């Protein structure tokens, strides 16, 4: 039983990362109907930026907690700026072009960022230093939870609750929801869709940057291909929950984390990845709008 709980904890930890990154995919898809392939690489970029910032600050004599907050904030700012620039240069000119052109542009942006990281930081693995967080851990029902894991879970939940409130109870949130239902109608109602797009890119980038820092701090080794590894999983999470559906991708992230943990723990570590994708295909065939997605009749 304690092993089962441990697997749940494992699943929730990686699930937090999936959920944070998945939100970036889902929000962009919701409004622009575009799979933003470059989002995963933004996450990788944030891990590298975070590492540079942390090594800058760590010797400065500031208290550790303050350094951590600073690193999270500045990384989020830089990645948000990068996200906005990316949208301006690579996606906005293609707003009215055929859908696939934007997909190719996104793939190009992904290659650009990924290989830019490789050229600048080198192809080798870089490591976050140890001792960023205290190495305390607690044993609950026989399962070990470390300080970092607890921090990750709590921060993710806080971010998600705030995002849900923002989407549901503010003016901007209403604008985002309206634009994702029907962009043209939203424009007619006087909503500045360009501004909505900028906002979702900022939110997506900020959440992604937190995910990227989690990867760096928790797993410690970062590599330039990291964006594809996590990006693809997070994207699946977004689809599991119903792409375009914000609560859906939170649920999807945690479900995917739990699913992979339990499959590789109890069924087969060798075939875990294949099982995940078979699940994905089955869900697509029988419920293409995802677990939480609403069944909407296809518009003609």
Residues 85-144 that bind other proteins (CB under 8 A): 89-90, 93-94, 97-105, 107-116, 118-119, 123-125, 127, 130, 135, 137, 139, 144
Question: Which positions from 152 through 211 interact with other proteins, judged by CB under 8 A?
Answer: none
Indicate if the alpha-carbon torsion angle 202, 19, 31, 165 is positive or negative. negative
Rounded to whole angstroms, the Cα distance separating 12 from 18 reads: 9
Distance CA 20, CA 159 (A): 9
Quick check: 140 and 72 in contact, CB under 8 A? no
- Residues in region 9-68 near other proteins by CB under 8 A: 10-11, 13-14, 29, 33, 35
State in angstroms the smallest separation of the CB of 2 from other proteins: 8
Stretch that binds other proteins, among 2-10, 162-170, 175-183, 246-254 (CB under 8 A): 2-10
Distance CA 257, CA 93 (A): 36
Residue 67 or 109: which CB sits closer to other proteins? 109
Q: What is the CA radius of gyration of the chain?
A: 19
Residues 68-87 that bind other proteins (CB under 8 A): none
Closest Cα partner for 208 from 13, 20, 1, 10? 20
CB of 289 to other proteins, least distance (A): 9
Q: Give the Cα separation of 276 and 95 in Å (integer).
A: 33
Q: In the complex with other proteins, which residue's Cβ is closer, 175 or 180? A: 180
Which window, 6-14, 61-69, 174-182, 184-192, contacts other proteins (CB under 8 A)? 6-14
Q: How far is the CB of 171 from other proteins (least distance, A)?
A: 30
Give the helix, strand, coil percentages of the chain, each rounded to 5. Answer: 75, 5, 20
CA atoms of 218 and 132, how far apart (whole Å): 10
Stretch of 42-50, 178-186, 192-200, 282-290 lying at the interface with other proteins (CB under 8 A): 282-290
Beta carbon of residue 238, minimum distance to other proteins (angstroms, whole number): 10
Please, which of residues 218-247 interact with other proteins by CB under 8 A? 219-221, 223, 225, 229, 232, 235-236, 239, 243
Write down the least CB distance from residue 127 to other proteins, Å.
Answer: 4
Strands (E), the chain: 126-127, 137-140, 143-146, 221-222
């Amino acid at each position: 039983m304690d092993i089962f709980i441990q697997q749940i904890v494992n699943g929730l930890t990686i699930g937090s990362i999936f959920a944070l990154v998945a939100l970036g995919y889902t929000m962009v898809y919701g409004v622009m109907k575009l799979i933003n392939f470059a989002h995963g690489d933004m996450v990788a970029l944030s891990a590298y930026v975070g590492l540079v910032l942390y090594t800058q600050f760590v010797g400065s004599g500031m208290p550790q907690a303050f350094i951590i907050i600073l690193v999270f904030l500045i990384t989020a700012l830089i990645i948000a700026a990068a996200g906005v620039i990316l949208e301006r240069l690579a996606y906005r000119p293609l707003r009215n072009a055929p859908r696939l052109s934007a997909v190719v542009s996104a793939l190009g942006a992904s290659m650009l960022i990924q290989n830019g990281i490789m050229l600048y930081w080198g192809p080798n693995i870089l490591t976050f230093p140890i001792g960023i967080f205290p190495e305390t851990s607690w044993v609950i029902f026989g399962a070990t939870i470390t300080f970092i894991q607890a921090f990750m879970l709590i921060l993710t939940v806080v971010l998600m609750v705030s995002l849900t409130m923002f989407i549901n109870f503010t003016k901007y949130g209403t604008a985002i929801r309206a634009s994702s239902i029907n962009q043209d109608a939203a424009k007619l109602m006087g909503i500045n869709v360009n501004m909505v797009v900028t906002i979702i890119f900022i939110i997506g980038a900020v959440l992604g940057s937190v995910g990227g820092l989690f990867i760096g701090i928790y797993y410690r080794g970062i590599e330039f291909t990291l964006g594809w590894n996590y990006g693809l999983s997070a994207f699946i999470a977004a689809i599991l929950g119903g792409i375009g559906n914000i609560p859906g991708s939170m649920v999807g992230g945690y479900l995917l984390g739990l699913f992979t943990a339990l499959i590789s723990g109890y069924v087969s570590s060798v075939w875990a990845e294949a099982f995940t994708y078979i699940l994905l295909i089955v869900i697509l065939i029988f419920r293409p709008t995802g677990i939480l997605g609403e069944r909407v009749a296809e518009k003609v």
